[in-house]
Chains A and B, each alone.
Chain A
Amino acid sequence: MVEMSKEKIGRIIARQGIIIAFAMFIIGFTLANGKFLSIENVLSVMRSSAILGVMALGVTFVVVSGNLDLSVGSMMSFSTIVVLDLHDKVGPALAIPLMFAMTIALGALIGLLVGYLKLNSLIVTLGMLSAIHGLTLTYSGGKNMDIADKEGTWFNIFGQGTAMGIPVPIVIFLLVATFLGLLLAKTPFGRKVYAVGGNGTAATFSGIPRARNVFYCYVISAACVAIAGLIQASRSMGSQNTVGQGLELEVLAAVILGGASLLGGSGTIFKTLIGVLILGFIQNGLLLVGLQFYVQFVVTWVIIIFAVWLDIAAKRGKFWSTIA
């Protein structure tokens, strides 16, 4: 009997482990620094998480469909540079749709390669990471992009504006999250994405085309990257070519923290939202208690492994792996 209840408690802890750990972090940080849960701090954390967050929402679709996307970081650099460059050439009203079209075209290309040609998504997106980086450098000629007239444009509202006291990036982030959350959880398309990721062969035999749905997932991911690039460009009004470098890993970290399995078929938008907030708040909390900026990387490492480990342990009913 004692064994049983112990196992049960273990399972509950494992299943809700990430929320419990998050709560403990928040309590700890609040005790250490009273400012941690103030409205200004919470808004500032959410504002700085918005760019990473929007990208993570898109990547959730890709991961649920059973694939990976390592190209979002360099794709974000691309869309940021493109929109900044076009802003001065054709004006913001035309620059934004053009940038969206170009970014989504890149996503469609990946979708074509992974979906229809059935290539390994890890290698394809790794190749695209490099190729898009090259494309960005070629486009900009290696120079930083800046908007010439920073005062006489409405372009800065996406990154710097506020709506009813709430920074616009947060509003965009939450709107995208609501829309994609409903799309993934409440529509036939969302169910197809789960089916394709859970068991591609079975899905195909049930009349759900794997190729087309994977293709859509990459298009959604690219659209999210375009939104993130827009926020980034509008926030800084100028950018380096490497602004998104390395973001793909933080994005994946957030998605994995949210509990999506890299094997596909599981994960939700809401959980990814939690994953993004955990990363953001831990980063902020560690800085507030006076630790070095880089400690967050080590903490993220430990948290990721524990989160996935507990999740797996709960599923197999054993703490340690059964590998001999």
Chain B
Amino acid sequence: MNAKKLSKYFSKGAIWGFIVLEMIFFSIAGEFLSTSEKAFMDVDNMLLLLKQSAPIGIIAIGMTIIMINGNIDLSVGAIFAMSGIILLDSMTWLIFVGLGEWVIPVSWLLALLTGTALGFINGLIVWKTGVDAFIVTLGAMLGFRGLVFMYNGENPTSHLNWTLVDFAELEFLGLHTATWFLLVVTVIIWFVMTRTVHGRNAYAIGDNKEAAVNAGIRVGPHMLINFMIIGFLAALSAVVFYSESGSVNPNDGQLYELWVITAVVLGGTKLTGGAGSIISTFGGVIAIQLLRKGLGHIGADTSTVNLVIGIILIAVLILDRQLNAKGKEELKI
């Protein structure tokens, strides 16, 4: 019993231990390898890190509830790009000319609606056809990306609104706007998953669908809601990101699903559903961003980052298996 508790404690706290390890490693390695004079563990640098992890982080929070629910969503990158395009393009639509600066909330709303609607399509197909979420969202990943390209060809969609840029670069209590969005989303979704009926049912469905059905839980609507939430969050991530950058490339968001799933898995959420924690995913997001930034700090290029991320993902899987297998063995005795 004690051993089980211990291994559980370890696997839950592992991500924070990993973060601390990363910080120590990059601080020391940075002293020797970095070309810049600044220390890695600089306050400004860490605040920037939080801001940069917001786009991936917001989606990763959504992916956690999808995976707890026992599904997966591969189309988030395409939803991200589509929402970004709607956000920037709608500001130039003729019908909104009279709105002045009030076009901003309208465009935000339209972008968020786009994301939610695309998530709704995925969720409805998963619910009504019974096709596996992996296949549905794999198809949607191609389909939504096709829509993105059909919208404006291979040209970038650009519109820079200075009010919006000022807002995105605003700092409140020392934290950037994007960081606030990430924190608020984390807290809200954490509350939904741990303190509401919807959250409890989502865990139950992911753990054992049959049992959930027998317990009188309506599986379909919960899955639909979760897909709408991740669509909404992918759009929110686009809103946060493109408000500042002001230009969407049709290829944007490609491989986001890879980063997002990596963050969620690092945070300890199981692909099989029924287990996972929003706070740990937040840790996973920070860990990945630390890794990207830290490797950059000590002079490694993107190729090394890709290599290391891939190896860590697999290593985590092996470690997780070892830990869990040990727990089970000792339980038998």
The chain A residues found within 8 Å of chain B, CB to CB, are 113, 117-120, 122-124, 126-138, 142, 246, 249-250, 252-253, 256, 262, 292-298, 300-302, 304-305, 308-309, 312-313, 316, 320-324
Provide the bound-state CA to CA distance between A313 and B136, in Å. 15
Q: Provide the residues of chain B in CB contact with A294, threshold 8 Å.
A: 145-146, 149-150
Q: Are A312 and B131 in contact (CB under 8 A)?
A: yes
Q: Are B313 and A119 in contact (CB under 8 A)?
A: no
Q: Which of B287-333 contact A (CB under 8 A)?
A: 301-314, 317-318, 321
Q: Are A134 and B143 in contact (CB under 8 A)?
A: no
Q: Are A297 and B145 in contact (CB under 8 A)?
A: yes
Q: Does B182 contact A (CB under 8 A)?
A: no
Provide the bound-state CA to CA distance between A123 and B267, in Å. 14
Q: Provide the residues of chain B in CB contact with A293, threshold 8 Å.
A: 149
Q: Are A309 and B131 in contact (CB under 8 A)?
A: yes
Provide the bound-state CA to CA distance between A135 and B218, in Å. 46
Nearest CB to that of A263 among chain B residues?
A: B132
Provide the bound-state CA to CA distance between A117 and B312, in Å. 16
Nearest CB to that of A324 among chain B residues?
A: B218
Q: Provide the residues of chain B in CB contact with A297, threshold 8 Å.
A: 142-143, 145-146, 149
Q: Are B129 and A320 in contact (CB under 8 A)?
A: yes
Provide the bound-state CA to CA distance between A215 and B208, in Å. 30
Q: Are B310 and A134 in contact (CB under 8 A)?
A: yes
Q: Are B149 and A253 in contact (CB under 8 A)?
A: no
Provide the bound-state CA to CA distance between A92 and B275, in Å. 51
Given contacts A142-B303, A256-B135, A322-B130, contact A134 B308 (CB under 8 A): yes
Q: Are B213 and A135 in contact (CB under 8 A)?
A: no
Interface-facing stretch out of B19-27, B79-87, B164-172, B258-266: B258-266
How many cross-chain pairs have Cβ atoms below 8 Å apart between A and B?
Answer: 162
Provide the bound-state CA to CA distance between A309 and B186, in Å. 35
Q: Provide the residues of chain A in CB contact with B307, threshold 8 Å.
A: 130-131, 134-135, 138
Q: Does B139 contact A (CB under 8 A)?
A: yes
Q: Provide the residues of chain A in CB contact with B72, threshold 8 Å.
A: 122
Given contacts A122-B271, A134-B306, A324-B220, contact A127 B314 (CB under 8 A): yes
Q: Does B219 contact A (CB under 8 A)?
A: yes
Q: Are B271 and A253 in contact (CB under 8 A)?
A: no
From A117, A123, A128, A323, B130 is in contact (CB under 8 Å) with A323
Nearest CB to that of A246 among chain B residues?
A: B254
A280 to chain B, nearest CB (A): 15
Q: Provide the residues of chain B in CB contact with A119, threshold 8 Å.
A: 314, 317-318, 321
Q: Mark B203-238, 1 if CB is under 8 A from A, else 0.
A: 000000000010000111001000000000000000
Q: Does B140 contact A (CB under 8 A)?
A: yes
Q: Provide the residues of chain B in CB contact with A308, threshold 8 Å.
A: 129, 131-132, 135
Given contacts A134-B305, A305-B129, A321-B130, contact A249 B141 (CB under 8 A): yes
Q: Are A305 and B313 in contact (CB under 8 A)?
A: no
Provide the bound-state CA to CA distance between A323 and B312, in Å. 37
Classify the secondary structure of B's interface with A: helix
Supply 12 further A-B pairs (C-beta < 8 A) apart from A126-B261, A127-B314: A119-B321, A122-B271, A130-B309, A131-B310, A131-B311, A253-B138, A256-B138, A298-B147, A301-B140, A301-B142, A305-B125, A320-B128
Provide the bound-state CA to CA distance between A122 and B220, in Å. 24
A210 to chain B, nearest CB (A): 16
A321 to chain B, nearest CB (A): 3
B221 to chain A, nearest CB (A): 9
Q: Does B134 contact A (CB under 8 A)?
A: yes
Q: Are A305 and B135 in contact (CB under 8 A)?
A: yes
Q: Are A305 and B258 in contact (CB under 8 A)?
A: no
Q: Provide the residues of chain A in CB contact with B310, threshold 8 Å.
A: 127-134
Given contacts A126-B258, A129-B310, A321-B129, contact A253 B304 (CB under 8 A): no
Q: Are B130 and A137 in contact (CB under 8 A)?
A: no
Given contacts A128-B310, A312-B129, contact A134 B321 (CB under 8 A): no
Q: Are B143 and A127 in contact (CB under 8 A)?
A: no
Provide the bound-state CA to CA distance between A304 and B142, in Å. 10
Task: List 10 contacting pairs A-B, 8 Å CB cutoff, sorted by A.
Answer: A119-B314, A126-B313, A130-B262, A137-B301, A249-B138, A249-B142, A304-B139, A305-B125, A308-B131, A321-B129
Given contacts A117-B321, A128-B314, contact A123 B129 (CB under 8 A): no
Q: Are A130 and B219 in contact (CB under 8 A)?
A: no
Q: Does B127 contact A (CB under 8 A)?
A: yes
A130 to chain B, nearest CB (A): 4
Q: Provide the residues of chain B in CB contact with A129, threshold 8 Å.
A: 258, 310
A147 to chain B, nearest CB (A): 23
A299 to chain B, nearest CB (A): 8
Q: Provide the residues of chain A in CB contact with B138, threshold 8 Å.
A: 249, 252-253, 256, 304
B307 to chain A, nearest CB (A): 3
Q: Provide the residues of chain B in CB contact with A134, threshold 8 Å.
A: 302-310
Q: Provide the residues of chain B in CB contact with A246, threshold 8 Å.
A: 254
Q: Are A324 and B213 in contact (CB under 8 A)?
A: yes
Q: Provide the residues of chain B in CB contact with A301, threshold 8 Å.
A: 139-140, 142-144, 146
Provide the bound-state CA to CA distance between A266 and B314, in Å. 28
Provide the bound-state CA to CA distance between A120 and B129, in Å. 26
Q: Are B306 and A123 in contact (CB under 8 A)?
A: no
From B136, B145, B313, A127 is in contact (CB under 8 Å) with B313
Q: Provide the residues of chain A in CB contact with B258, threshold 8 Å.
A: 126, 129-130
Q: Provide the residues of chain B in CB contact with A312, threshold 8 Å.
A: 129-131
A320 to chain B, nearest CB (A): 6
Q: Are A295 and B150 in contact (CB under 8 A)?
A: yes
B133 to chain A, nearest CB (A): 11
A175 to chain B, nearest CB (A): 29
From A126, A132, A142, A298, B146 is in contact (CB under 8 Å) with A298
